[in-house]
Amino acid sequence: MRAGKFTLVLPLLLLLGGTESCSRKSSDKKIAKDVQQQVSTDPETRHSQVQVTVQSGKVTLTGEVDTPLAQQEVEQIAQKEPGVKAVDDETLVASTPTPPVAVQPPPPQPAPLQRALSSPQPLASQPLAPQPPATLAADTAEPLPNPPKPQAIVVPAGTTLLIRTSTSMSSATSQTGQVFVGSLARPVSIRGTTVFPSGSRVTGTVVDAQKKGKIKGEAVLNLTLTSITANGRTYSIRTGVLENTAKGKGKRTAATTGGGAAGGALLGGIAGGGKGVGVGALVGAGAGLVGGAMSGNQQIELPSETALSFRLASAATVSPRQ
C-alpha cells in the first residue's frame, strides 16, 4: 500500500515542478521583453544598443549606451519591472571619438640643409645645454638702465669769437640796423668739446654808421653779433659792440665795449698810420678789429673776408647733439 502511494505522489511532484519551470521561463521572457521595449522607447536610452537577458528573475544588461545618464536610466527601467529580483548592469558607456589633428607639413628648408638631411651620413647629435626655467629668467631679469641724457653746454661770457665777414661794409655806405653775415674763423671749444665749429654761420648788425665829413666830424662803424648757427641749430647771442672810429688825418681807433672787454685796437697796417698799430693792445685785450683800411677821405672800409674779433657779453647755452 505504501509503495502504491509513493508511486502516485512522484508523478504529481514532477508535474508540479514542470509546470512551475514553464511558468518561470514564461515570466523571464516577459520581463526581458518589457525591459527591452521600455529601453527602446525611452527618450534617454532609445539610441543605446542594450541586450536584456533574464534568468530566474535576475536581469543582466549588456551592450553599449551613449552616456552615463543613459546607463543609469536603463538600470532603473530594469529595477522597476515587476518580478525582477536583481539587476546586473554590464553595459559600457561609448567613448567620444577624438577629432583628428591636422598635421602641418614642415616648412621648406634651405638648400644646404636639405642636402644635409638627404645625405646618407648620420648627423652627430649634440648634447643640449640645460635650460633654466622660464619663470626664473623672468624673475631675475633686471631692466636695462636708461642711457644718460646729454647735457647742455654753457659758453661763458667773455668767450672770444673770431669771424670773417662775407659782406663788405663802410662808414660811408652802411646804414644803422643793417645786417651783415660771416663765418667763424676759429672753432670754439668748451672742456674739450667743440660747440661752435669753424665755418659756423654768424649774423651781425650795424649798431651805428656815420660818414666822415671833409671839414669836420669823424667816421663811425660800430658792429655787434646777434646769432650763430652750428650743427643745424641757430642760437641767439649777445656780444660787446665793436666800435670803430676815424678822426683827423691818419688817426683811427678800434675798441670793444660790453662783455667785460678792456678795449681793442687795429691789428695790421692802416693807410696813413703806423705799421702794426695797436698789435700789443689787441693781444692783451683779446678783442678788437683785425684788418681793414681807410680810404683817402678817411672813411672806414671793411671789405669781404675781413677778420673781426668779438666777445660774448652774456653766456650762451648750446643744446647737445641728438
Report DSSP letters for 31-77, one per residue.
Answer: HHHHHHHHHHHSTTTTTSEEEEEEETTEEEEEEEESSHHHHHHHHHH
Of the pLDDT bands very low, low, confident and very high (cuts 50, 70, 90), residue 66 is: confident
222 assigned to some structural domain:
yes
As given in the structure block, the three cell numbers for residue 4 are 502504491
Among all chains, which residue has been given the C-alpha cell 673770431?
162
How are beta strands 293-294 and 300-302 bridged, if at all?
A: antiparallel
Query: Which of 6-15, 26-35, 49-58, 68-77 has the lowest average pLDDT?
Result: 6-15
Q: Residue 308 sits in a domain of what CATH number?
A: 2.40.128.260
243-280 residue pLDDT tens: 888 765 555 555 545 443 333 333 333 322 322 322 22
H helices, E strands: number in the chain: 5, 21
Judge whether residue 44 has pLDDT over 90: no
Pair (52, 172) in one structural domain: no
Classify residue 185 by its DSSP letter.
Answer: S
Out of 96-100, 226-230, 294-298, the most confident range is: 226-230
Number of domains in the chain: 2
Q: Give the orientation angle of helix 2-41 with respect to helix 68-80, to 10 degrees.
A: 150
- Domain extent at residue 74: 44-95
Specify burial of residue 216 (Cβ count, 10 A radius: 0-12, 13-18, 19+). exposed
As given in the structure block, the three cell numbers for residue 64 are 553599449
**Cα 121 → chain centroid:** 46
Among all chains, which residue has been given the C-alpha cell 678788437?
288
Residue 55 CB neighbours (<10 A):
14
Pair (85, 195) in one structural domain: no
82 assigned to some structural domain:
yes
Confidence (pLDDT) at 154: 93
Judge whether residue 101 has pLDDT over 70: no
User: For 34, phi and psi rounded to 5 degrees?
Assistant: -65, -45
Query: Which of 2-11, 134-143, 219-228 has the lowest average pLDDT?
Result: 2-11
Of the pLDDT bands very low, low, confident and very high (cuts 50, 70, 90), residue 13 is: low
Q: Coil, helix or strand for 205?
A: strand
Pair (165, 88) in one structural domain: no
68-99 residue pLDDT tens: 888 888 888 888 888 888 888 888 887 765 55
Section 204-214 average pLDDT:
88
Domain boundary among 27, 62, 95: 95
